Structure 1
Amino acid sequence: MSDVLAVNAVNLTKTYGPLTAVDNITVQIGQGEVYGILGPNGAGKTTFLRMLFGLIRPDSGTLEVFGRSWPKNGVSALDGVAGFIESPKFYPGLTGRRNLQLLAGLDGGTAGRRIDEVLEVVDLADRYRDKVRGYSFGMRQRLGVAASLLRDPRLLVLDEPANGLDPAGIRDMRALVKRLAESGLTVLLSSHDMGEVEQICDDVTIMRTGSVVYHGSIAALREQAPAQAHRISTTDDHRTETLARARGLQVSHTEDGLAVRGPQRDVDALIADIIGASIALRGLSLSETPLEALFFMLTESAPGAPTADLNIPATSGAHR
């Protein structure tokens, strides 16, 4: 495989008046990776993707795709690149196949010969005769992936592909991305959902208010994750909090009780303490996963603030 990076973005900055949408970020993605750009709304993910597609230009920094850039190569910088930003749009009164035929005609070349193949890949081979107005949101998202695959890309860029989907749609989209990744395609996926990225991506860049707060592998991130949190609701949360802190557990308040974090054996002992103190236990459930908890810790603190007690670099990363 070539040593040329699929995406090589170095020190990118983009401002809109007083707003810094992307602040000196570096993102480098190797060919064949399934890479996640993760962050809450407003983190700068879509701004980064718009710069990658050449829809907007950075104020400073450099951005190359397979060694090509807009300043040097113009529109050919996007050779081998396909995808969509936000939700893909189609003519609702036309069938799925006819929409793809129109898009293939714009691309020219051999794209039209791939229509049956891409419909099969995205599991729409039995619905291509139906008008798009009758498609579910998930089907339209999959048709967007099919349209992207018409170009036979080397890099597929998907902006929040599971956003707005029901659980079945999320499952189908996740399975589709995994199949595409297994074929050797480089996939760049943006999301605000840690669970989605964790199950699909090899490496991730986490953004907050335009800056990078983590860059590296999912495996390395998982090692930094805190203990699983439990939601606990009782008839006396004040005494429960005292019992939890006596066990050395971390405690925070939620809308419906307490969130308790620490080793499972200590949480188990706390439950026994609660019952032994004649406090009625009204609710006990798992909170967010450890990686989700870490994601919130990284993205909800104030910009520039240290990630307390975490050995995580709050700087732009580079491809390893």
Structure 2
Amino acid sequence: MNPALAVDARGVTKTFGSVRAVDDISVQVAAGEVYGVLGPNGAGKTTFLRMLFGLIRPDSGTIRVFGRTWDEAGVEVLDGVAGFIESPRFYPYLTGRANLAGLTLLDGGTPPGLLEEVLDVVEMSDRADQLVGGYSYGMRQRLGVAASLLREPRLLVLDEPANGLDPAGIRDMRALVKRLAGRGLTVLLSSHDMEEVEEICDNVTIMTRGTVAFHGSIAELRTRAPDPGHALATTDDDRALALGAEHPRISVTRDPEGALAVTGPPAAVSSYVGALVRADVGLLAFTPAHTPLEALFFMLTDDPTHQSLHRPDRVRVAAR
């Protein structure tokens, strides 16, 4: 047991009938960091978070939260923990403030002024007296974070907090998580969006088909990212393909939709682009097919034969 860990999950497995939703995973979250559990839908992220909250029990393995397990401490495991799984729910016929006030009563009350403080933190003070039924999806997500903060947690757990939000809502949610992290709160969030995790997380576990494909820091993940290739559009794609065949260090191919894709070492790609210009082939677009981390994410999660980058014998404790 490591007292520096907010979450210490080891060898956790959960099956539902013939489906192994989580298969022998280990996740360590240091106090004070923002940690991402990343993976496509169905990877096992929400199942793992449900086990952390005690909503379901693992078949094997141990989950400690601030050093406590459900078998040892029961519901006291959740002392200092707050958050929501999937989407938070509220009474639509009550105002945001009334919903939060009701939750404080269920929790035994809160210090004076805390309700107003959390509304300010999530930037909902000016909408708190409106009915929740009129809130946008993003506002309900932020109200869910406010409800969580009423417990004055040390660990905040968020399941896909930006899922279903429009671009402005995604921006606001990411900014909110950054502000909370700046206050010293430990944040554990799940996501299927590599960009979201890259922007706000210190460390990440990538899951696929219930297993761990990668553990480590975002910085370490960047060092393993492959060349993502580029999408190319020209005024003469046939000529561009022919010129590509004259540059053996690169590959120029058509994707299933007919667009051109270019991959190869940066110097060779640059030389190829120069050849297009000299041949009077106009460049209409030349953009990365994916960011490098997106490319690695898809490589790890789309290909079932790809070797995991997870090293199970290495327990990492990383502080912010």
Contact 1:234 1:279 in 2 (8 A): yes
Match of 2:259 in 1: 257
Of residues 287, 290, 310 in structure 1, which corresponds to 2:289? Answer: 287
If the length of structure 1 is used for normalisation, what is the TM-score?
0.91
CA distance in 1, matches of 2:290, 2:252: 14
CA distance in 1, matches of 2:253, 2:297: 17
1:115-126 aligned at under 5 Å gives the runs 115-126=115-126
RMSD over equivalenced CA pairs, Å: 2.1
CA distance in 1, matches of 2:111, 2:24: 37
Q: Secondary structure at the match of 1:24?
A: strand
Match of 1:273 in 2: 275
Sort the Cα spacing of 1:252 and 1:95 in 2 relative to 1 into closer, same or farther, 3 A. farther
Q: Which runs of 5+ in 2 are unaligned?
A: none
Q: Deviations over 1:234-270 (max 9, x none)?
A: 4664653454462512455432412223344432322
Deviates further, 104-113 or 223-232: 104-113
Sort the Cα spacing of 1:291 and 1:62 in 2 relative to 1 into closer, same or farther, 3 A. same
CA distance in 1, matches of 2:10, 2:212: 12
Shift of 1:174: 0.6
Match of 2:154 in 1: 154
Q: Which runs of 5+ in 1 are unaligned?
A: none
Q: Which stretches of structure 1, 4 residues or more, deviate above 6 A after TM superposition?
A: none
Contact 2:3 2:66 in 1 (8 A): no
Contact 2:299 2:306 in 1 (8 A): no
The alignment status of 1:43 with 2:43, answered yes or no, reads yes
Shift of 1:279: 4.4
Contact 1:27 1:317 in 2 (8 A): no
1:1-150 aligned at under 5 Å gives the runs 3-110=3-110, 113-150=113-150
Contact 1:250 1:260 in 2 (8 A): yes
Sort the Cα spacing of 1:248 and 1:275 in 2 relative to 1 into closer, same or farther, 3 A. same
The percent identity for this pair of structures is 61
1:204-283 aligned at under 5 Å gives the runs 204-234=204-234, 237=237, 240-241=240-241, 243-244=243-244, 246-251=247-252, 253-254=254-255, 255-277=257-279, 279=281, 281-283=283-285
If the length of structure 2 is used for normalisation, what is the TM-score?
0.91
CA distance in 2, matches of 1:275, 1:208: 42
Contact 2:300 2:306 in 1 (8 A): no
Q: Secondary structure at the match of 1:41?
A: coil
Contact 1:101 1:112 in 2 (8 A): no
Shift of 1:109: 3.6
Shift of 1:135: 1.4
- Write the letter of the residue equivalent to 1:68: R
Contact 1:25 1:316 in 2 (8 A): no
CA distance in 1, matches of 2:225, 2:195: 13
Contact 1:29 1:35 in 2 (8 A): yes
Task: Give the number of aligned pairs.
Answer: 314
